[in-house]
Structures are given as C-alpha cells and as structure tokens.
Amino acid sequence: MKDGVAEEIFKKFPKYIRGIVVGEGVSNFKEEKRLVELLRKEELKVRQNQVLQNLSEHPRIASWRSAYLKFGVKPTKHPPSVEALIRRIKKGKSIPFISNLVALFNYISLKHIVPSGGDDVAKVEGNLYLKFANGYESFTPLGSTAIQHPIPGEIIYTDDEKVLCRAWNWRNGDQTKIMPNTSKIVINIDCLPPVLKKEAEKITVELAQLVKNFCGGQVNYYLLDKDQTEVEI
C-alpha cells in the first residue's frame, strides 16, 4: 500500500511536511491511565497558556487558516482540527477519551499545536493520497451515514474509493474510524511553517515511540515532502 501527497499540493505549499506513523499489531482495547493523565495535563497547559488567547493569530494556527483560504475553504466555518481541539478546551470542555490511539494523536496535537489524525488501515481500499478534490468523491462524516461531496479544489485525504478526511485535516470520515479492535493504524501529522522539517521529524518520532510504548506492535515512521512524495507502508 502506498501513502502519498500529490505533487500539485507541494507546488502550492512547497514547505508542507507530512509525518506518518504506521503501527501494525497494535493493541487499542485497554485504557491506559497514564495516557489519560498526559492528555488531561496537556489540556490544563492549553487552558493556562496566555499565548493561545488570540488563537487565530498564533503562528501555528494562522498558517493553517491561510492555507485553508488558499484552497477555497473558510477556516471560520471549517477550522483545522488542532484549532477545533484548542477552542473546545478554551470553552471549558475536555477532549473525550475514545481510545489510546485517538488519545495519542490528540495529545500530540495539543502539545505541539499541529493537526494530527489517524485511520484504521484494515478499512482502507487501495492506496492513500492527499490530493485536490474534483468534487465527485464520496465522504461519510464521522458519526453519520449521510454521503457528502467535497468542493472542487478542496484538499482531501482519500483511498481508492472514498474520502477519509475533508479539508486537509478538518473532519474525519466514519468508514475508517479507529475502534477498540483496530490493529493496524496510520497516523498523519501535518506541518506547515513555522514547523520545519527538523521539528516535524522530532514530533513524528515522539508519536511513533508513544504508540510503541502504549499500544505495542511494530511501529515505523516516515516523512513526506516535496522531494519524497510517497512511501510504501
């Protein structure tokens, strides 16, 4: 199976880097109390972080808002996933603990202020690609059975049959959602400046190690950029 980013995306966003963590034979059944504590501590840091008061002006959020506008999506209506997470916390709500794997990429998102999300590889058909939509692709939002279609030119994450995530990292699909019995996962970490390659790799390595520590299995990581647009996973 290939996981890649269309070259057209790098032409529009040449400094974009995608970290990929692949875990095979992972265990996602047991709730790890240590991980719950890590997530709650990171939530507390977000609540106390005065720099995050004007969230839309934070460099790591502003870069995503600008990117969304460039491909025709209003971030005020469809915010990047990491912005939505932080805004939820700032309103006094906690991030639901779904499972260890979901908690891990939410933790990384909050700690480093980068979008991150994952999919169950067993539910993927064919190859994985981040690309521009033609508008005919099918998407079923998380928790729904309704079928939607992205707008033409929207950046989408897809397999050979369906959209896994709309608007780059805005909303995940239902069909490849992570469940307690998920045993093979692919997690993406999306990085735009001011997050550069060295830091992107550091964050990706950190997440890979956390998956290994909390969920076991065989874990590998990869980086995609304009010079390496796809990998075999």
Q: What is the pLDDT of residues 55-78, one digit of tens each?
A: 999 999 999 999 999 999 999 999
Asked whether residue 111 carries a pLDDT value surpassing 90, the answer given is yes
Angle at CA of residue 185, ends 182 and 187, nearest 5° = 135
Q: How far is the CA of 3 from the CAs of 52, 111, 124, 137, 185, in angstroms?
A: 33, 25, 11, 18, 12
**pLDDT exceeds cutoff 90 at 104:** yes
Rg of the chain in Å (alpha carbons): 16
Section 205-210 average pLDDT:
98
Burial string for 140-160 (b: 16+ CB within 10 Å, else e) reads: beeeeeeeeebeeebbbbbbe
Mean per-residue pLDDT, 102-130: 98
The CA distance from 35 to 22, in Å, is 19
Averaged pLDDT for residues 138-159: 96
For the segment 12-19, the average pLDDT, to the nearest whole number, is 98
Which is it for strands 128-132 and 2-5: parallel, antiparallel or unpaired? parallel
Average pLDDT, the chain: 97
Find how far residue 105's CA is from the centre of its chain: 7
Which parts of 97-151 are beta strand (E)?
Answer: 116-120, 128-132
Strand partners, 120: 185
Q: Which CATH number fits domain 2-226: 3.20.20.80, 3.40.190.10, 3.50.40.10, 1.10.10.10?
A: 3.50.40.10
Task: Note the pLDDT of residue 195.
Answer: 98
Q: Give the 3-state secondary structure percentages of the chain, helix then strand then coil, rounded to 5.
A: 35, 25, 40
> What is the C-alpha to C-alpha distance for residues 79 and 55, in angstroms, rounded to an integer?
11
Q: Is the pTM of this model over 0.75?
A: yes
Confidence of residue 30 (pLDDT cuts 50, 70, 90): confident
Total residues belonging to the chain: 233
User: Confidence class of residue 89 from pLDDT cuts 50, 70 and 90?
Assistant: very high
187/19 Cα distance (integer angstroms): 8
Q: Label the pairing between strands 171-172 and 184-191.
A: unpaired
Give the span between the Cα atoms of 166 and 140, in whole angstroms. Answer: 10
